[in-house]
A and B are shown apart, each in its own frame.
Chain A
């Protein structure tokens, strides 16, 4: 790597936190070095394969449990051409349905959140209970064939983990915990249920959904499009771990990249980390390269005093980004005090478009009031800023997508820093072809 000095970042001893998030380095899978074919990002055929073998087969993220706490609260979310309703029942359980009226196919609800006593179609007022059963069909006596024989909305499997609501279009899907393994064991220590949603934005991006997943699955691009982050994180000292279908990397924050010299003044972004932790950068007497460890020590000591329980997290988790990807489309930038989650959804028909959902959560300290939920905002790429770093990512992706259509571009030429991208495509292949089938490189 093009570094000018040795990294001075140290990591916690995996043995020292036996009950916390596992930190052992997983053995890197041997996924070869073949090109990843560009058609996977651009072709209708591949998009269709993904629909048949992935989107209709796996567990997908729908939303937050605390958005549907009360009886009749529902989440309505779209995936591809499908739309899903997930509803809190009187007994506290969840039920999911296809969001369609059995009469003429009208959608019962638009995407978003709400609370209902029943679902009444706005077209002819066919009405369904919270359990999906038909409650009322106006003028039923004018239907000689009677009501639709199934008598209820087509069900969808749903479940909850980690304060999030999940669903699957596959009636025979494995249990949620089995599918998510080992993610719950890794992320439960963060207690996402103690974090409140602070930002809820959907941006239409002009790129394939996988181009977005890829963009967040490697930090090789930091030196390319986020030069300012070189004074914020160590992009050269990243632990990549690939599991069966999910993967992660652990990236040290509050550190200076060995690609640049250590400055004598504290970089502004690292000052922000210190301030957020409750430290006064002006009081800091140590070296810039000691800040990461000192922030960890400070948060460890100070956390309980400010109502923040970090007891299940290791020291590195107090500063670093434990960056997870839940297959196929959830990216989690996980921190002790916050979670920046991206959900990447394909466009229903166009492989060159996608929906990029940004959900930012912040830890609510004990005794602090739970903040009001922000309104969902929907925008198109470039409408307005989504923050400097994400703007830099967003600026790049439509251009990448266009380039992938070129006859001269055959595929992705990936390096070791991009192992998670290779792993992601391997899992896609496992779903499309079965584990013994072709791999991306064989195309």
Chain B
């Protein structure tokens, strides 16, 4: 059943067809959280999927679950930091899917303050993860004359949250680079957009751990959410899926903050 974006729930009412049926999508970091929710949504909408993540068990479980929706799903575990393995995986995924219409690279090394290594990790995973994936899919998208890429940044890029660290700074670079890509490849029918999620809580996610280990910080963060709660992975996934889909045909070079009103900044 087509995804309704909440505009319709019954027969006879108008609904938006995202046009995702039969599209080939690659999602990097799809074993849990936002990545998994996005993969589920795309699978439900009839996309063929190639997914990867670091955890072998996680990928195996996700592939098995996603197959329930009847689409073609392939997946194996990869450490994005191992450039050669990663590139080989990307080439193989494109080949097995028979091209790539949608790319959503979402893997992140996460935050960390102190060690210089956090910068290397964030660069390798949060920056070079998307860079290598985009490089890999551009030829097939260009050849087809269409394609959609959604980069995932964070509200922590626009708001100085969590102390000075690589995560925020390097995620921010994706917003800039996303715009550059959008301008450069628009002529080839390739759209590039960026989604910045606010705090998202889910079972096994980091906010669940923060709730248990740093209750005060968690409560303070919760208080700064206008709705009094954090986001859910599927709420971010719906925004990503929309931008990824042909339904968002006129969205290019946009940066969509999806945070339930968490950030203070007005986007002029």
Interface string of B204-224 (1 = CB under 8 A from A): 111011001111000000000
Interface hit among B18-26, B115-123, B143-151, B260-268: B115-123
Pair A261/B208 contact, Cβ less than 8 Å: yes
| Smallest Cβ-Cβ distance to B55: which chain A residue | A287
Interface residues of B (CB under 8 A from A): 32, 55, 79, 81, 110-112, 114-118, 121, 203-206, 208-209, 212-215
Contacts of A267 in B (CB 8 A): 209, 213
Q: Is the CB of B112 within 8 A of A282?
A: yes
Contact A264 B32 (CB under 8 A): yes
A282 touches B117 (CB 8 A): yes
Stretch of A88-96, A176-184, A223-231 at the chain-chain interface: A223-231
* Contact A281 to B112, CB < 8 A, known contacts A231-B212, A261-B208, A263-B204: yes
Say yes or no: B214 contacts A280, CB within 8 Å.
Answer: no
A285 in the interface (beta carbon within 8 A): yes
A231 contacts B112, C-beta separation under 8 Å: no
Nearest neighbor of B213 in chain A, beta-carbon distance: A228
Q: Give the residue of A263, A281, A287 whose beta carbon is less than 8 angstroms from that of B205.
A: A263
Q: A264-B32, A264-B110 are in contact. Are A283 and B212 (CB under 8 A)?
A: no
B residues in contact with A228, CB < 8 Å:
212-215
Cβ contacts under 8 Å, A281 to chain B: 112, 115
Which of B32, B55, B204, B214 makes the CB contact (< 8 A) with A268? B214
21 A–B pairs (Cβ distance < 8 Å), ordered by A: A227-B215, A228-B214, A231-B212, A261-B208, A262-B204, A263-B204, A263-B205, A263-B206, A264-B32, A264-B110, A264-B204, A265-B110, A267-B209, A269-B213, A281-B112, A281-B115, A282-B112, A282-B116, A282-B121, A283-B115, A285-B79
Nearest chain B CB to A279 CB, angstrom units: 10
* Interface residue from B114, B116, B209 paired with A231 (Cβ < 8 Å): B209
Tell me which residues across on chain B come within 8 A of A280, comparing CB atoms: 115, 117
User: Which residues from chain A contact B112 at a C-beta distance below 8 Å?
Assistant: 281-282
A263 surroundings in chain B (CB, below 8 A):
204-206, 208-209
A231-B213, A282-B112, A287-B55 given; A260·B117 CB < 8 A: no
CB distance from B228 to the nearest CB of A (A): 21
A265 to B212, CA, bound (A): 14
Give A287's nearest chain B residue, CB to CB.
Answer: B55
In the complex, per-residue mask of A208-246: 1 if CB is within 8 Å of any chain B CB, else 0: 000000000000000000011011000000000000000
Separation of A122 and B212 alpha carbons in the complex (Å): 55
- How long is the Cα–Cα vector from A414 to B176 in the complex, in angstroms? 61
Q: Is the CB of B203 within 8 A of A264?
A: no
Q: Is the interface of B mostly helix, strand, loop or mixed?
A: loop
How far apart sit A280 and B117, CA to CA, in the bound complex (Å)? 8
Sorted from nearest, which 5 A-B pairs have the closest CB atoms? A282-B117, A261-B204, A282-B115, A228-B213, A263-B209
What is the chain B residue whose CB lies nearest that of A261?
B204
Q: How many angstroms between the C-alpha atoms of A282 and B116 in the bound complex? A: 8
B215: A residues at CB distance < 8 A: 227-228
Q: Which one of B79, B81, B117, B209 lies within 8 Å of A265 (CB-CB)?
A: B209
B213 to chain A: closest CB distance in Å? 4
Contacts of B114 in A (CB 8 A): 282
Q: Among B55, B79, B212, which residue has its beta carbon within 8 angstroms of that of A260?
A: B212
CB distance from B220 to the nearest CB of A (A): 16
> Which residue of B is nearest A262, CB measured?
B204
Contact check, A227 vs B212: say whether CB atoms are below 8 A apart.
yes
Please give the distance in Å from A116's CB to the nearest CB on chain B.
49
* C-alpha gap A264/B54 in the complex (Å): 10
Residues of A within 8 A of B205 (CB): 263
A280 vs B114: C-alpha distance when bound (angstroms): 9
Q: Which residue of A lies closest to B29 (CB)?
A: A264
Q: Which residues of A contact B32 (CB under 8 A)?
A: 264
Question: Does the CB pair B212–A282 fall under 8 Å?
Answer: no
Q: Which positions 279-303 of chain A face chain B at CB distance < 8 Å?
A: 280-283, 285, 287
Within 8 A of B (CB), among A240-283: 260-265, 267-269, 280-283
Contacts of A262 in B (CB 8 A): 204
Report the nearest A residue to B114, measured CB to CB.
A282
Minimal beta-carbon separation of A278 from chain B (angstroms): 12
Instruction: Select from chain A the residue with minimum beta-carbon distance to B209.
Output: A263
In the complex, A373→B206 CA distance in Å? 40
* Docked CA distance A231–B218 (Å): 15
For the complex, give the distance between the alpha carbons of A268 and B162 in Å: 14
Residue of B nearest to A257 (CB): B212
Residues of B within 8 A of A260 (CB): 208-209, 212
Q: Tell me, in angstroms, the Cα distance from A59 to B111 when the chains sit together.
A: 51
Question: B147 → chain A, closest Cβ, in Å?
Answer: 29
A265: B residues at CB distance < 8 A? 110-111, 206, 209
Complex: A281 Cα to B117 Cα, angstroms: 9
Residue of B nearest to A270 (CB): B213
Additional 10 contacts, C-beta under 8 A, given A261-B203, A285-B81: A228-B214, A230-B212, A261-B204, A263-B206, A264-B32, A264-B110, A265-B206, A268-B213, A269-B213, A283-B117
A231 neighbours in B (Cβ, 8 Å): 209, 212-213
- Bound CA span A228–B210, Å: 9
Q: Quote the shortest CB–CB distance from B2 to chain A (angstroms).
A: 32
Query: How far does the Cβ of B50 sit from chain A's closest Cβ, in whole Å?
Result: 21
- Most central of A263, A267, A280 by chain B CB within 10 Å: A263
| Residues in A neighbouring B212, C-beta threshold 8 A | 227-228, 230-231, 260
Most buried by B among A230, A264, A265, A281: A264
Q: Which residue of A lies closest to B32 (CB)?
A: A264
Q: Which residues of B contact A287 (CB under 8 A)?
A: 55
- A230 to B209 alpha-carbon distance, docked (Å): 9
Q: For residues 76 through 119 of chain A, which have their beta carbon under 8 Å from a beta carbon of chain B?
A: none
| Chain A, Cβ-Cβ closest to B119 | A282
Cα A227 to Cα B215 in complex, Å, equals: 9
Residues of A within 8 A of B121 (CB): 282
